[in-house]
């Protein structure tokens, strides 16, 4: 990996069934995610997907690019920018910001983001991984 390299993208479309299954798995049944009547009265006007479910697409992208090194040493710092609605398609992407030698490993820093089909950023942030 070199500075400026792009990572393979991960594209996902999350259905309301996916959101409901995530709510069950995470134990997060906030009505903004699962109750259409409650969500209709919210600032979003409809149900939204869980942010961490969407953020998992970044982790999937990093795992595809860095394999077990990501699972062992990866970390990310992200910011949620816009809601993702069930049925929307999102794309996780990343660009290598820096590659540096630290101790007996190489640390790769990546600018990451998840964008919606209209190119609006849903999540932005940074990820780091140590390659041994």
Q: Look up the CATH number of the domain holding residue 117.
A: 3.10.129.10
**pTM of this prediction?**
0.93
Number of structural domains the chain divides into = 1
48 belongs to the catalytic site = yes
Give me the catalytic one of 32, 51, 126, 131. Answer: 51
CB neighbours (10 Å) of residue 21?
A: 12
CA 14 to chain centre: 12
10 in Cβ contact with 1 (< 8 Å): no
Give me the catalytic one of 33, 50, 78, 94. Answer: 33
At residue 61 the predicted structure's pLDDT band, cuts being 50, 70 and 90, is very high
33 part of a folded domain: no
65 part of a folded domain: yes
68 part of a folded domain: yes
Tell me what pLDDT residue 81 has. Answer: 98
Structural domain for 94, as ranges? 10-14+51-131
33 belongs to the catalytic site = yes
Concatenate the DSSP letters of all residues of 64-109 into one string: HHHTHHHHHH-EEEEEE-S---TT-EEEEEEEEEEEEEETTEEEEE
Tell me what pLDDT residue 11 has. Answer: 98
29 belongs to the catalytic site = no
48 in Cβ contact with 83 (< 8 Å): yes
Give yes or no for residue 132 having a pLDDT over 90: no
Give me the catalytic one of 5, 18, 28, 35. Answer: 28
32 in Cβ contact with 118 (< 8 Å): no
54 belongs to the catalytic site = no
How far apart are the C-alpha atoms of 32 and 37, rounded to whole Å?
9
At residue 103 the predicted structure's pLDDT band, cuts being 50, 70 and 90, is confident
32 part of a folded domain: no
Going by C-alpha positions, the residue among 46, 50, 43, 24 that lies closest to residue 35 is 46
């Amino acid at each position: 990996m070199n500075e400026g390299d792009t990572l393979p993208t991960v594209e996902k479309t999350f259905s309301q069934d996916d959101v409901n299954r995530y709510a069950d798995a995470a134990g997060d049944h906030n009505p903004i995610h699962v109750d259409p009547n409650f969500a209709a009265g919210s600032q979003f006007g409809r149900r939204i997907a869980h942010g961490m479910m969407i953020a998992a697409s970044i982790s999937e992208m990093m795992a595809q690019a860095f394999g077990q090194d990501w699972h062992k040493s990866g970390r990310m710092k992200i910011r949620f920018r816009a809601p993702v609605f069930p049925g929307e398609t999102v794309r996780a992407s990343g660009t290598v910001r820096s590659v540096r030698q630290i101790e007996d490993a190489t640390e790769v820093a990546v600018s990451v983001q998840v964008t919606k089909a209209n190119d609006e950023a849903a999540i932005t942030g940074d990820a780091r991984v140590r390659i041994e």
